[in-house]
Chain A
Amino acid sequence: MPAALFVLALILPFIVREFWVHVLNEILILGLFALSFNMIFGYMGQLSFGHAAYYGVGAYTTGLLMVKANWPLFVTLPISMVTAGICALILGYFCVRLRGIYFAILTMAFGQLVFYIIFQWYSFTGGDNGLQGINPPAWLFKTNPYYFFTLVVVTIGAIILWFISESPFGYTMRTIRDNTERTEFIGINVQRYMLINFVIAGMFAGLAGAIWGPFNRSVAPDLCSWQHSGGPVFMAILGGPHYFLGPMLGSVIYTLLNAFVTGYTEYWPLVSGTVIIIVVLLLPGGVLGVYKEKFGHLKSKESTTLEHGGS
């Protein structure tokens, strides 16, 4: 099934107009961002409301290196993952000591902290102006080439995340999610595992951010804001947090909806707020969750239902 989707993604740019290829590009990047978020949420059972911090760090790393030091994109991508990972390591060290709402608020506070640092450090980051002139190399400059580049990077990223989630490490995450205490009792250092997972999630969020910069030709501190952190949360819940590709599906629906609605009205927050409420109230388990109920079966490797998320 995912293979079919990949083929579809390959041929779409040749069917639809350029504008929609841009939208697809955005879907992929935000989808990777949401997938990385889901490592913490769907698989580990904690709600991070500050995940955009690592997305932003990745975006700025690539942006700064490309604009100020003229480093090529291919080199900045892995470096962005490293810086985002380090940021996740430092901040995550404190976050994993908390659970539930405290975890959520601390991640949000840290997210805002990163936002304000980038915002205020005008001399280094350009502050509220953001960074302009982040140009991908000439052969990736046009819409279609950059789209395929994104597709390749996101697919590889998703495959790696998939392997991690299906590894013994991934299953340990699920046990932490389902019953943290018991996991402690069987001798697993829960905090250390949570931290590792947090760092992994941060690294891939950084990767998504790193591709975003050249796509938009600029970055701004807003990328780290808590409103931006809300995006992947909703996408994961919309698509279904217990299925690996759920967040990607959420990105498809949400981003398409956004692209569509903003063409007709300026009241996108009103529409998106209403959609969020409807989805949360009426679609438990997300689209894929409802699908599973209606049609009975999906691949057997889906994770089990969330009980009381490890609080």
Chain B
Amino acid sequence: MEFSFIFSQFLSGLTYGMILFLVASGLSLIFGVMNILNFAHATLWLIGAYFCYSFWYLMQGYNFALWVSIPLAGFACAAVGWVTEIVLIKHIYKRELHEQLLITYALALIFADLIKIVWGPTDRLIARPPAIQKPVFIFGAPFDSYFIFVILAGFAVALGLWWFLKYTRYGHIVKAAVFSREMVGALGIPIPKIYTWVFTLGIFIAGFAGGVQAPIGSVNFGMDIAIIIQAFCVVVIGGFGSLLGTLVGAIIVGEVFSFAILYWPAGAMVLIFVITAAILIIRPWGLFGTPMRT
């Protein structure tokens, strides 16, 4: 098999990994800080994709339509996330695990139907701006030029989050809260507000990720169900609450998927679940996570 082919498969896997990373990073962040496993995360991602479509549709005549719509989708979703947190999520932080899981699961159901009501079940297609209509050639093998953007966007978000957590005051607070929320609360920092903003940030990333996904293929109903489980696997493999872990986990899943499709297409998902299960058994807190604090 030619090197250029393998390399383009690698890049495809990397692209898919980046999308997974964008979806999973918010999930990991929310879980790391607030201990909530957000079942509705992928559905919000899908809402972001639909928002992106709608914004693009309104601005169709302009070449910049798509590029503006993607961050707009992020903000629109963040608004949805913010409202959700204040109305509902806020009240379940102290609840039992099963209650939290059921509530976010119920949210996923509700949001999915809302998508059906607002946008209808038909597929939505975004026509690409000329800049990304033709492939680029890497070592002679064609590669979707938009995917370059996806990879860059993924890294940009990763870097942004890393810088945020390491160098800004809010970032430090968030990191500390992952470690011990009692201490943060004891230091007089309003935990509820932190939670609201972290949740909103997580959903912003999810919405942005949805926007990034939108021009790939079509936006259709049911995409969220496919990706939520994979996002869970990413977070498990990488480790809850760890940014680096999520990135690494996402790339692993993306690449396993990409190459398994070639040799064992039926087993691609099976393989990912086996890896996930193995991590949970051998090292439950993931490759880069820290053992669960009490």
Contacts and interface: CB of A to CB of B under 8 A. Distances in A.
**Direct contact between A and B in the complex (CB less than 8 angstroms)?**
yes
B232 A105 contact: yes
A280 interface: yes
A281 B103 CA distance: 9
Interface stretch (B2-10, B53-61, B247-255, B275-283): B275-283
Contacts, number: 112
B91 interface: yes
A269 B277 contact: no
A113 B274 contact: yes
Given A97-B281, A237-B98, A280 B229 contact: no
B276 A109 contact: yes
B261 interface: no
Given A109-B277, A276-B102, A116 B110 contact: no
Nearest to B267: A120
Nearest to B95: A280
Q: Identify whether the interface residues of A are mostly helix, strand, loop, or mixed.
A: helix
Interface residues of A, number: 39
Nearest to B274: A113
A101 B110 contact: no
A274 B110 contact: yes
Interface string B222-248: 000100010011001000000000000
Contacts of B281: 94, 97-98, 106
A225 to B, nearest CB: 9
Contacts of B96: 306, 309
A178 to B, nearest CB: 14
A190 to B, nearest CB: 17
A137 interface: no
A49 interface: yes
B99 interface: yes
A120 B113 contact: no
B203 interface: no
Contacts of A306: 96
- Chain B interface bracket (under 10, 10 to 19, 20 to 34, 35 or more): 35 or more
A120 B270 contact: yes
B266 interface: yes
Interface string A287-311: 0000000000000000000100101
A112 interface: yes
Given A41-B98, A267-B113, A110 B103 contact: no
A116 B97 contact: no
Contacts of A272: 106, 109
B277 A94 contact: yes
Given A47-B98, A102-B280, A116 B270 contact: yes
B110 A270 contact: yes
A117 interface: yes
Interface in A266-286: 267, 269-270, 272-274, 276-277, 280-281
Nearest to A276: B106
A112 B230 CA distance: 11
Given A101-B37, A281-B91, A109 B102 contact: no
Interface string A92-123: 00100110111011101110110011001000
Nearest to A311: B97
A273 B97 contact: no
B273 A113 contact: yes
Contact of A109 (B103, B107, B116, B280): B280
A112 B267 contact: no
A271 to B, nearest CB: 8
Contacts of B49: none
A34 to B, nearest CB: 14
B101 A49 contact: yes
Interface in A245-277: 267, 269-270, 272-274, 276-277
A234 interface: yes
B117 interface: yes
B105 A276 contact: yes
Contact of A270 (B101, B105, B113): B113
A126 interface: no
Contacts of A233: 98, 101-102
A226 B233 CA distance: 14
Given A101-B97, A120-B266, A226-B229, A280 B103 contact: yes
B171 interface: no
B10 to A, nearest CB: 24
Contacts of A117: 270
B83 interface: no
A112 B276 CA distance: 11
A104 B229 CA distance: 13
A109 B113 contact: no
A78 interface: no
Contacts of A105: 37, 232, 236, 280
Nearest to A97: B281
Interface in B110-151: 110, 112-114, 116-117
Nearest to B264: A120
Contacts of B267: 120
Interface of B: 35, 37, 88, 91-92, 95-99, 101-103, 105-110, 112-114, 116-117, 225, 229, 232-233, 236, 266-267, 269-270, 273-274, 276-277, 280-281, 284, 292
13 contacts: A47-B98, A94-B281, A97-B281, A101-B35, A102-B280, A102-B292, A105-B232, A109-B236, A227-B225, A267-B117, A276-B103, A276-B105, A281-B103
